[in-house]
Amino acid sequence: DAGITQSPRHKVTETGTPVTLRCHQTENHRYMYWYRQDPGHGLRLIHYSYGVKDTDKGEVSDGYSVSRSKTEDFLLTLESATSSQTSVYFCAIRSPGTGVVAGANVLTFGAGSRLTVL
């Protein structure tokens, strides 16, 4: 997916365990985002980063932390997973648009990580 990979793609874990999802880009873009997608809720922003060690919270940040120690990697950590965090997690990078979307800051999404917390 256009230089952005997420790992793991699928994970099943138990309540109370820590979980880390990784987003890796090869595009050298400054902005990276973590969203979660749930039926009936659409895409909701968890955290985002605007540079190495620069992060900010989104609308559903409780229970999640992030780290960005280098440009290419943005990690999402669930310190103690709960069943309410069962979701599909998407990472995205922001880049300048071209063609019909020239002038826009375009989000390109990774393939997603499906997390199930039992």
Partner 1 sequence: QKEVEQNSGPLSVPEGAIASLNCTYSDRGSQSFFWYRQYSGKSPELIMFIYSNGDKEDGRFTAQLNKASQYVSLLIRDSQPSDSATYLCASNSGNTPLVFGKGTRLSVIA
Decide: is 63 part of the binding site for partner 1 (CB under 8 A): no
Binding of partner 1 at residue 17 (CB under 8 A)? no
Binder to partner 1 among 5, 22, 43, 65 (CB under 8 A)? 43
Q: Which of 21, 23, 29, 33 binds partner 1 (CB under 8 A)?
A: 33
What type of residue sits at position 117? V
Q: Which is nearer to partner 1, 41 or 70 (CB)?
A: 41
Of 84, 80, 95, 90, nearest to 112 (Cα)? 90
What's the start-to-end Cα distance of the chain, in Å? 29
Site for partner 1 in 89-108 (CB under 8 A): 90, 97, 100-101, 103-108
Under the criterion CB under 8 A, does residue 62 sit at the interface with partner 1? Answer: no
| Residue 3 touches partner 1, criterion: CB under 8 A | no
Residue 111 found at the interface with partner 1 (CB under 8 A): yes
Long-range contacts of 43-46 (CB under 8 A, 24+ apart): 43/90, 46/76, 46/89
Question: Is 42 a binder of partner 1 (CB under 8 A)?
Answer: yes
